[in-house]
Amino acid sequence: MTPFNSLQLKDEAKKMGFSFCGISKATELTEDAYRLEYWLKANRHGQMGYMENHFEKRIDPRKLVDGAKSVITLLYNYFPEKEQNKESYKISKYAYGHDYHHTIKTKLNTLLGTMKSAVGDLHARCFVDSAPVLERAWAQRSGAGWIGKNGNLITKTQGSFFFLAEIICDVTFEYDQPMAKDYCGTCTACIDACPTEAILNQKIIDGSKCISYFTIELKNAIPDEVKGKFNDWIFGCDVCQDVCPWNRFSKPHGIKEFEPNEVILNFTKNDWNEITEDVYTLAFKNSAIKRTKFSGLKRNIEFLK
């Protein structure tokens, strides 16, 4: 069995295109448990009932993987070189290209295969925004960055336009030090810019007020009280990231799978207004935009009129 240490793991992750790889000891997230419980009791999750499920698994990775010793956090850049037609309806940048779940999960499985080849039998699971894992908490613990006032994981070198992913395994590595300092300082750019006032004090996000919640998670009609506040967003929202000063360091990803869909780049408002289900199905067959379904996207567009 070949020795496989943390430096080798990070080198392999870099070869696969990950922007960061950090490792934390698998343990219970006690402080985060209190924050999550408070957030749920305040109904900040709105109709996202799944956030109430598997509470114990969310705060303790050892309940997701038996005998877990390490949480490997990986970041994958999705900042695009090109952006949409400025006069069109808006799509969140993370959905410009192929569905990140599939693309990154494939890379995680390849990395896990490399680990297994080196260390032999191991127990592990890969996660990409698809299970009860407190991703940002683990990213902060691994030294990737800090959790900003907008609730996003922010890095000093490349901002916050990253997908977060994890491998939880029963292998012991040398662990990284957490990011101890918060570099948001007195800046309130994200709080001031949020169209629906979803960003509260003390890094608390009212998910039930977020434009991303209304345009993706909410299955019912969008409430009238937020009419006129969407600033042309029809899938997700990037306002709090776009105004963040740290994102001046964002660099284009250069990844083929995440290259922007030409429909997203070039569609006018009229094109979106007249989109048919056939065009939607063909244009977004490999896209995260499928989450809204055609009916949801049309609902979002109609709400802006």
Instruction: Grade residue 3 by pLDDT with cuts at 50, 70 and 90.
Output: low
CA–CA dist 177, 143 (Å, integer): 6
Work out the number of other CB atoms within 10 angstroms of the CB of residue 86. Answer: 7
Of 190, 192, 240, 232, residue with least CA distance to 215: 232
φ, ψ at 143 (rounded to 5°): 90, 10
Q: What confidence category does residue 276 fall into, taking pLDDT thresholds of 50, 70 and 90?
A: very high
Average of pLDDT values for 93-122? 94
pTM comes to: 0.94
Burial of residue 1 (number of CB atoms within 10 Å: 0-12, 13-18, 19+): exposed
Residues 34-59 pLDDT 10s: 999 999 999 999 999 989 999 999 99
At residue 294, φ and ψ (nearest 5 deg) are -60, -40
Strand, helix or coil for residue 163: strand
pLDDT digits (tens, 9 = 90+) for 164-194: 999 999 999 999 999 989 999 999 999 999 9
Catalytic positions are 129
pLDDT category at 1 given cuts 50, 70, 90 is very low
Report pLDDT digits (tens) over 205-260.
999 999 999 999 999 999 999 999 999 999 999 999 999 999 999 999 999 999 99
How far apart are alpha carbons 12 and 8 in whole angstroms? 6
